[in-house]
Amino acid sequence: MELSRTDRDLLQLTAIEVPWPMVCAEFHSSYGSVESLVARLFELLDAGLISVSGKSGAEAAPDPLALCAEALAHGNFEAPDLVAESSWCIAATNAGYALIKAELNGQ
């Protein structure tokens, strides 16, 4: 899978588990829309580079429609006080972290 600079930045941010609102607020404009960001997140998920997990009480399996709906319902999380309201977290997997670590070590 070819990664863009934006994909690499997303993997760096998610080296620790990050709430979905923070990811959305930071990256939705870079990908062009919330829908495009979510589509790319699920491509990275399918490639084994990130994980999308629900917080307690959330659905077990990540759902792209739920992520989009949550973002759109909260104005794409552009207000910082909305960051804690999500039921989803995103984190780089070991493979995603290793990819970024190798890139950073090569600089």
pLDDT in tens, 28-87: 999 999 999 999 999 999 999 999 988 655 545 788 998 898 888 878 777 766 555 667
Query: Which of these ranges, 53-57, 87-91, 102-106, has the smallest mean pLDDT?
Result: 53-57
Host domain of residue 88? 5-106
Distances (CA, A) of 44 to 7, 23, 52, 73, 107: 9, 14, 10, 24, 23
1-42: pLDDT as tens digits? 899 999 999 999 999 999 888 899 899 999 999 999 999 999
pLDDT at 75: 80
Give the per-residue pLDDT at 29.
Answer: 94
The per-residue pLDDT for 107 is 64
Count of domains forming the chain? 1
